[in-house]
Amino acid sequence: MEQISHIRTTRFYKKTAILFCAFAVLLLVAILYYSLNKTTIAVTIGAQTRTVDFEVYADPTDEAAAGTMEDTIFGIAATTAADASETYDNTNEGGTVDSIATGTVTIRNTWSQPQPLSATTRLLTPEGVLFRIKNRVDVPANGSLENVEVYADVPGDSGNIGPKTFTIPGLSKELQQKITAESTTAMTGGTRTARVLTQDLVDNAKEKLEQQLLTQIQTTAELPSDIQAPNSIHLGKAVLVETTDTKISPAVGEVCDTFTLTMSANATVIFIDDNSLLSKALTSLTDSLADGEIISAYKSTDLTYTAETYSTDTKQAKLNVSLSVTAIPGSEHPLYNKEALAGKDSMEIESYFRSYDFVRNVSVNFSPFWVHTAPSVQSQIEIKVTME
């Protein structure tokens, strides 16, 4: 009995030892798995443009200058007048219309006497096409006169002729044999493209000229000497332009290659505290950023503003303001949230990062080679971020 009991005890210890060894092996594998399991994510990001648009009032009061009024900055208005004139090309597609063909001839005189020819003297081709001399000329005896300007008697394509010989019907039959004309180049211009001035073209020109007036006023306007602004304030300018007179030459509907637009305007110039405006714009934009985004760069020239209205009663101007900056993910951005990556495979991790518009490229590396998901231990996830 004691021998049987000893055998049973020995078997029990063997089983226990085997189970312990198996457990130890499994525990070692688990330890190795979790200690060696690592995920490295390389992310390339680029700055994104963020823009905020808002309205603010410009007010001349001391409270506005002190910055104690909500949605209000300091601003003083002054009035001025300006005018501008500009010539524009008629860019409309035109049709073909008749015109007067022109060219030059050489007049030869084999007679012993000089021959004067008055302006409009007729020159006739053998085919009966009539031209006229543009200006009076004197053809020397036994000589010639080159580059005499001539024009067709009637408009149209019939005046577009090649080199020809001409007789002068106004002379006697005898002199017609001695005094002749000849062209060595073609007569051209019997037809031309006619462009009709349209209202759409004029309206586009008006917009350009109004912008030109606006720029002119913004550049030249100065705060009147009888108006004082706090010394600490840097003044920018917002302008409201009211056109008082516009003249167009020629009129809409007429044929022309160019047209001239003249415009007169009265303007209200609002001299504003643009430093205060920039500060308000940055605050407004920062509030509008998504969680974790931070402003990385901006320029004062990225701040734009225009005057929408001005009240002569309250002396207040309403401004439309826009600011654009570049933003990047800060250290608190969800981009760096390792907890959200636990248990995800390569495709899921890439999808997570690419949901943010900052991300340009993502690569995921698991180790050891048999691992295909990110570990749950955040310290074993490494996110390497580089700027584009």
For the chain, the structural domain boundaries read 1-36, 96-193
- Residue by residue, pLDDT tens for the chain (388 residues) are 555 554 555 665 666 666 666 665 565 555 555 556 789 999 999 999 999 999 999 888 877 777 778 888 888 888 888 899 999 999 888 778 889 999 999 999 999 999 999 999 999 999 999 999 999 999 999 999 999 999 999 999 999 999 999 999 999 999 999 999 999 999 999 988 888 899 999 999 999 999 898 888 888 888 777 666 665 566 788 888 888 899 999 999 888 889 999 999 998 999 888 888 998 999 999 999 999 999 999 998 899 999 999 998 999 999 999 999 999 999 899 999 999 999 999 999 999 999 999 999 999 999 888 788 998 888 889 999 999 8
Residues 6+ apart with CB under 8 A from 114: 138, 139, 140, 141
Query: What's the CA gap between 59 and 73, in Å, rounded?
Result: 6
List CB contacts of 338: < 8 A, sequence separation 6 or more.
Answer: 378, 381, 383
Q: What is the DSSP letter of 255?
A: B
DSSP notation for 18-50: HHHHHHHHHHHHHHHHHHH-EEEEEEEE--EEE
The structure tokens 């580059």 sit at 147
Please tell me the pTM assigned to this model.
0.61
DSSP per-residue string spanning 75-116: EEEEEEEEEEEEEEE--S--EEEE---EEEEEEEE-SSS-EE
